[in-house]
Chain A
């Protein structure tokens, strides 16, 4: 580990990152608190489908106020850094474009890759910190035999956030601390109380931070409305199409592929005898393919834009467990290289609802081998 004096803590105003700052301060480390201003909640207020005053969590004045109070309590310097432009370019636009292309995106991973462990780490280093610490539940360690930095699952498996961190590079991991990796959430809250932090009882945030109330459809509509719907920078717009069965029979219409996620049952707008699920979303023809539950299962997938962590390359096929969504129980599979930055995953047992846009993350026990983005066609 780098022998560095100064650590920048990414502070959101929540209990996890606040406790990280308190822990490092108590260890006598030189701590600087940083909060990223990423999105202006008021921006979409009054646009299509949004109320005049929007209550969202992301970068709200209240959260910044909380983070500032904590920094004050701890006696550490604290600054807010503005990354709104990068956040919109690297997280919000891809989020919108993915939905319009019939995929189901994970903005948190993009934010980690492009903002927290890229932009914020650059700022941290520029202002004299060599490392960055966050409140993620994950562990990072250097393996001398492999000569690589490893990302590992945390002690509290119920809070495991490694699924969102698979994109971290060796350089990023070498400069990152996850001080909560060995703790459980109740222990973290207890520690926050012990340090007298005002946010000790603050509820956890679950939803996508920039989508108020978790209603992504309303967010998409408001964002496209704000962009004038014809913005050349946004790849498409909300275009309807046919709803078809897997054998090609047209059974209805839909108002836009962004309304659907693979595996979805509710809100299909077609009535049939047996329950129907979204099996596939065809971006080129704008068709939504529906079918029976058993049609949702498949054994293979292709992961693109793969980042490998515990190994530099996949020379031979490897036995791992693969997680295909945040709440998925990792399933045994074989991974093998399928071209530059691409990996073919073959599960032992068919898995339900492999969803394009989500990540496939490969685990060897608690160690994250790597991960990539699930593509349309296996």
Chain B
């Protein structure tokens, strides 16, 4: 069976160049990057080259890049690192420290914030409008004398909607508050420059842009006061203890290089313009299906993501039906059992729960082709039609809408 993967916001395939770059660092160049001998020096050099590549992707200095195990660790390190700074001297949680975040963040931020509250900190959740955007005035208003950190994501994982992070950066700078942005879903898809954003901390994850899983980086602006989360050796300038994941870091570096090249020149594969064109084509065609709509309409978005609701269906059933036909897409967030729960992001945007559950995310990667999009477009309309035909809800909704329409007609003089 032909299989097409349009779930690249979940993870992406490692590009062949990335795999090649990593390959020597498993058994050939295996040294511990902290060792002083020849073997250690070889891997140390590789780690530092990767650091420069990541710095080039983010527009920062290499010394400001801290390698992590991925997006969740980066987000946690940023949040707890700032909020618990000085824990060694003062003990945990000076009461009253305050964080501002949004209610559409990834759970790596939301659950970290829950934990902060349990520690005695305070959290303000900024709402989003129907497009999925936070109001900058809300962010400004939320700032208090004890506010220590603003953490608002760059691009949303479910909708691809981009926040005005540079404006938030200005607000944070004026208030002299740390600003962290979760850029896991932006890296490799749009240009990122930490100085233009004005952030102090920024999280990326390798596997979201064709690097390996289990490796990521946190940008930490020089001078930022950050408590480590892992205690041990003095790796990563004492920001993150633990022997470096050298093959992973090398892969992340290579993926960053390829991303920069793709964004600047457009390489042989899908660059961001081609990707946007393919995404737009997919989106346009899907919106031709009756009773559908775009989530995040009217907001700027990354070029690879589209999130569409198909009224009258369970997104869960559509995902399964499509998977059985060879198309991988996704909906909402999976809970621990793997069952799907209605998306907190779409609910925060004001979608009715049934519509949130009827929403599907399609996300493209560099490996996708125009034929992949055609394959998807060949499957989705008939599958949606089958689901609706068998849905008691859709038939009822459709007939009640018809009734409402005919009542309206008959009510007219």
Query: Which residues does A use to contact B, with CB under 8 Å?
Result: 32, 35, 37, 59, 61, 64, 68, 77, 79-82, 84, 122-123, 125-128
Lowest 5 CB-CB distances: which A-B pairs, in order?
A37-B339, A82-B339, A80-B338, A127-B321, A80-B339
**Count of chain B residues near A, Cβ 8 A:** 21
Decide yes or no whether B323 CB sits under 8 A from chain A.
yes
Chain B residues lying within 8 Å of A37, measured Cβ to Cβ, are: 335, 337, 339
Chain A residues lying within 8 Å of B392, measured Cβ to Cβ, are: 122
A37, A59, A82: residue with the most chain B Cβ atoms closer than 10 Å? A82
Chain B residues lying within 8 Å of A35, measured Cβ to Cβ, are: 337
Instruction: State the CA gap A367–B408 with chains docked (Å).
Output: 52
Decide yes or no whether B324 CB sits under 8 A from chain A.
yes
Chain B, residue nearest A32 (CB): B324
Decide yes or no whether B391 CB sits under 8 A from chain A.
yes
User: Are A126's CB and B387's CB within 8 A?
Assistant: yes
Within the complex, what minimum Cβ distance (angstroms) separates B402 from chain A?
A: 22
User: Are B337's CB and A64's CB within 8 A?
Assistant: yes
Instruction: State the CA gap A77–B325 with chains docked (Å).
Output: 11
Within the complex, what minimum Cβ distance (angstroms) separates A124 from chain B?
A: 9
Within the complex, what minimum Cβ distance (angstroms) separates B205 from chain A?
A: 25
Chain A residues lying within 8 Å of B335, measured Cβ to Cβ, are: 37, 82
What are the interface flags for B323-352 relative to A under an 8 Å C-beta threshold, 1 for contact and 0 otherwise? 111000000000111111100000000000
Chain A, residue nearest B313 (CB): A126
Within the complex, what minimum Cβ distance (angstroms) separates A33 from chain B?
A: 11
Tally inter-chain residue pairs, CB-CB below 8 A.
54
Instruction: State the CA gap A205–B338 with chains docked (Å).
Output: 22
Within the complex, what minimum Cβ distance (angstroms) separates B381 from chain A?
A: 15
Within the complex, what minimum Cβ distance (angstroms) separates B71 from chain A?
A: 23
User: Are B317's CB and A81's CB within 8 A?
Assistant: yes
Decide yes or no whether B386 CB sits under 8 A from chain A.
yes
Chain B, residue nearest A81 (CB): B316
User: Are B337's CB and A59's CB within 8 A?
Assistant: yes
User: Are B321's CB and A126's CB within 8 A?
Assistant: yes
Query: Which residues does B use to contact A, with CB under 8 Å?
Result: 313-314, 316-317, 320-321, 323-325, 335-341, 386-387, 390-392
Additional 6 contacts, C-beta under 8 A, given A80-B339, A81-B317: A37-B337, A37-B339, A123-B317, A127-B317, A127-B321, A127-B324
Whether A122 touches B391, Cβ cut-off 8 Å, given contacts A81-B320, A82-B316, A127-B320, is: yes
Chain A residues lying within 8 Å of B338, measured Cβ to Cβ, are: 64, 68, 79-80
User: Are A82's CB and B341's CB within 8 A?
Assistant: yes
Chain B residues lying within 8 Å of A127, measured Cβ to Cβ, are: 317, 320-321, 324
Instruction: State the CA gap A64–B339 with chains docked (Å).
Output: 10
User: Are A61's CB and B336's CB within 8 A?
Assistant: yes
Within the complex, what minimum Cβ distance (angstroms) separates A166 from chain B?
A: 22
Whether A80 touches B390, Cβ cut-off 8 Å, given contacts A126-B317, A127-B321, is: no
User: Are A79's CB and B390's CB within 8 A?
Assistant: no
Whether A122 touches B390, Cβ cut-off 8 Å, given contacts A37-B337, A64-B338, A128-B321, is: yes
Chain B residues lying within 8 Å of A77, measured Cβ to Cβ, are: 323-324
Chain A residues lying within 8 Å of B391, measured Cβ to Cβ, are: 122, 126
User: Are A126's CB and B337's CB within 8 A?
Assistant: no
Q: List 12 A-B contacts (CB under 8 A).
A: A32-B324, A68-B338, A77-B324, A80-B337, A80-B338, A81-B320, A123-B314, A123-B317, A125-B390, A126-B390, A128-B321, A128-B324
Chain B, residue nearest A121 (CB): B390
Chain A residues lying within 8 Å of B336, measured Cβ to Cβ, are: 61
Query: Contact partner of A61 among B317, B320, B337, B390, CB < 8 A?
Result: B337
Chain B residues lying within 8 Å of A126, measured Cβ to Cβ, are: 313-314, 317, 321, 386-387, 390-391
Instruction: State the CA gap A125–B314 with chains docked (Å).
Output: 13
Within the complex, what minimum Cβ distance (angstroms) separates B129 from chain A?
A: 27
Within the complex, what minimum Cβ distance (angstroms) separates A129 from chain B?
A: 9
Chain B, residue nearest A64 (CB): B337
Instruction: State the CA gap A35–B316 with chains docked (Å).
Output: 13
Instruction: State the CA gap A35–B336 with chains docked (Å).
Output: 13
Chain B residues lying within 8 Å of A81, measured Cβ to Cβ, are: 316-317, 320, 339-340
Instruction: State the CA gap A61–B341 with chains docked (Å).
Output: 16
Within the complex, what minimum Cβ distance (angstroms) separates A255 from chain B?
A: 36
Whether A79 touches B320, Cβ cut-off 8 Å, given contacts A122-B391, A126-B390, A126-B391, is: yes
Within the complex, what minimum Cβ distance (angstroms) separates A252 from chain B?
A: 46
Instruction: State the CA gap A79–B331 with chains docked (Å).
Output: 14
Instruction: State the CA gap A313–B320 with chains docked (Å).
Output: 39
Chain B, residue nearest A123 (CB): B317
Instruction: State the CA gap A61–B339 with chains docked (Å).
Output: 11
Instruction: State the CA gap A32–B324 with chains docked (Å).
Output: 9
Within the complex, what minimum Cβ distance (angstroms) separates A82 from chain B?
A: 4
Chain A residues lying within 8 Å of B337, measured Cβ to Cβ, are: 35, 37, 59, 61, 64, 80
Chain B residues lying within 8 Å of A125, measured Cβ to Cβ, are: 390
Within the complex, what minimum Cβ distance (angstroms) separates A87 from chain B?
A: 12
Instruction: State the CA gap A84–B392 with chains docked (Å).
Output: 18
Instruction: State the CA gap A59–B338 with chains docked (Å).
Output: 11
Chain A residues lying within 8 Å of B339, measured Cβ to Cβ, are: 37, 80-82, 84
